[in-house]
Structure 1
Amino acid sequence: MRYSNEEHDVLARTFDRDGMVLLKQHFPKETLSGWRQAFDGILAHRLQENATAVRGANRHYITLPFAGVFADESIFCDPDVLAIVERVAGEDPVMCQLATDTPLRGSTYQDVHRDTPALFDNEPETPSFQLAVNFPLCDVTADNGPFETTLGTHRMNSEDAMRAYVAGEIPLHAIPMELGDVMIRDVRALHRGTPNNTDAPRPMVVIGYSRSWYFRPEVHIDVPRDVYQQLGPKAKRLLRHMPQVDDAGAFQSAESYLKFAY
């Protein structure tokens, strides 16, 4: 653990105010380089098979198999990340997503959107209930498609937030990231993906965590039984609601998480 309890508290307060925090150089670059090597083969296969969820022109969402380098407890059970997650989204959370978003050359600006609707109609200021932990598998620069987000809109009514954004009252902030950086964000904040103007794919991993009682069936992780049996108690607890399968499969034939913008 790199941060103290007091620092976790400060980060959680920053998250509650802004809807995100960034942990610089938090994951080992060597580990993420292994993820990138494994991901490149998946990306090539899924593109060839037209088996991605399209998130815009030349922008591809791909679920990662929960096996091999991707079933890494040092990443999804990272104690600092979980300490922040538990402070802002409640104790005993559920891990519900392991995927990537990858713009290629020819990608465009996404429409500004949220990744989930409000939990209750006309009750925008509920505490956080669904979080995305994002980390890139390469350096993210102004050229290859940085994530752009607003600050504080996770606590606003969706229509009010959009009106304020359109009126120029709420700016978008580009988030450049280095390999090893980790962003924790509330998926209700207004945000968008931007164009990748380079020849190299820009993969961004997303690990989803939610409150213990929140479940969206289209967003899930198929956990091989043999992999699950090798996990520690904390990892098993995080994955307790995910379906167990006989074989994760090297490549999925299709994506179920299709509606992503609200």
Structure 2
Amino acid sequence: MEVNSITRPTYDIAQIMSGLYGDGIIGLKGAFGREWVQQLGEDIARLYADALQRPGGALGRGPKRHYVEIHPESIRGFVDLATHPWVVAVCEAVLGPDYKIVEIGFDVPNPGAMNQPWHRDFPAPDDTLVGRRLNSLAFNLTTVDVTEDMGPFEIAPGTQWDLPVDFEHGMFPPKSNSPRYEQRAQRKLPHMGDISARSALTIHRGTANQSNKSRPALVLGVDAPTANNAERHDLQLTRAFYETLPESLKSHLTCRVVDTLEPIVQGHTIEGLMMGEA
């Protein structure tokens, strides 16, 4: 693993907490080397091609935009990512010592992808609406250097705390809210090797990809013990792969240990994203 430090780095817990409880998104530049990311990109390209050939393998997230949930062992860098000191520090700080990895997959906005509507990835739980706590995080890692014309991810900082008044399915705010999001909006232009962590409740969207390149990004979903996002996913590891994992990682996986991997039946379609916006 190409972590840019010889010794295990330390991270400021207060800074992590203030970022995720404030803006709702934080990042670490240069967490991995470009060669490591190129390898990840090769794995994702292969998995994406396979998923497009399999019924239900790639789920639409709007025109020319897909999400694919994958098996951890189908990429060569899963353990590197899941045990990266920054990822561990962020999970422990926000979700507590008993956090669980519940999902791994990737998004691919292809050339011609349109603006998504502003949305959350799932309805806000009572932990957040009532308890004012974040009980899940999404980590993202791009496999390309993102430019303005590639449909960068756009987020409205601080909106993870918005009450879902008139939100369709608890996820899609009314159009009347859009001017506020647009006034707050930040477009993210990460480079290969950068990692971000965000609350999936912070209002966001993928923007129109006007380039001739796709913009694949890996997604790692992590829960606190009080969250139930594992119900939407089917994390599987073969017994042979599971036995190779460090004990410190095994304790943070909500998964099925199987003899043979089964095709994943994605349980979290987002119908409201299918049309896209102009």
- TM-score if structure 2 supplies the norm length? 0.84
1:133 to 139, 145, 162: 139
Q: Which structure 2 segments of 5+ residues have no match?
A: 1-6, 168-172, 274-278
2:123 aligned partner: 117
Contact 1:60–1:102 (Cα < 8 Å) also in 2: yes
Would you say 1:155 and 2:168 are equivalent positions? no
Contact 2:155–2:204 (Cα < 8 Å) also in 1: yes
1:244 aligned partner: 257
1:210 to 216, 223, 230: 223
Q: Which structure 1 segments of 5+ residues have no match?
A: none
Post-superposition Cα deviations, 1:122-154, rounded to whole Å, max 9, x if no partner, equal 925621111000010111111112100011111
Q: CA deviation at 1:168?
A: 3.1
Contact 1:125–1:156 (Cα < 8 Å) also in 2: no
2:90 aligned partner: 84
1:102 aligned partner: 108
AA aligned to 2:224 is R
Q: CA deviation at 1:45?
A: 2.3
Would you say 1:187 and 2:192 are equivalent positions? no
Q: Identity over aligned residues, as a percent?
A: 25
Contact 2:236–2:257 (Cα < 8 Å) also in 1: yes
Q: CA deviation at 1:49?
A: 3.5
Contact 2:143–2:216 (Cα < 8 Å) also in 1: yes
Would you say 1:198 and 2:211 are equivalent positions? yes
Query: Take 2:177 and 2:29, find their aligned partners in 1: how far apart are those partners?
Result: 28
Say which SS state the counterpart of residue 145 (structure 2) adopts: coil
Contact 1:56–1:110 (Cα < 8 Å) also in 2: yes
Would you say 1:219 and 2:230 are equivalent positions? no
Q: After the TM superposition, which of the residue ranges 122-131 and 84-93 deviates more from structure 2?
A: 122-131
Post-superposition Cα deviations, 1:155-198, rounded to whole Å, max 9, x if no partner, equal 22123894674343652211111001111000100000112222
Q: CA deviation at 1:68?
A: 4.8
Contact 1:66–1:248 (Cα < 8 Å) also in 2: no
Q: After the TM superposition, which of the residue ranges 185-194 and 195-204 deviates more from structure 2?
A: 195-204
Query: Take 1:175 and 1:222, find their aligned partners in 2: how far apart are those partners?
Result: 31
2:54 to 46, 49, 57: 49
Change (3 A) 1:123 1:253: closer
Contact 2:139–2:220 (Cα < 8 Å) also in 1: yes
Q: After the TM superposition, which of the residue ranges 205-214 and 160-169 deviates more from structure 2?
A: 160-169
Change (3 A) 1:82 1:52: same
Contact 1:122–1:157 (Cα < 8 Å) also in 2: no
1:175 aligned partner: 188
Would you say 1:31 and 2:36 are equivalent positions? yes
1:257 aligned partner: 268
Contact 2:143–2:192 (Cα < 8 Å) also in 1: yes
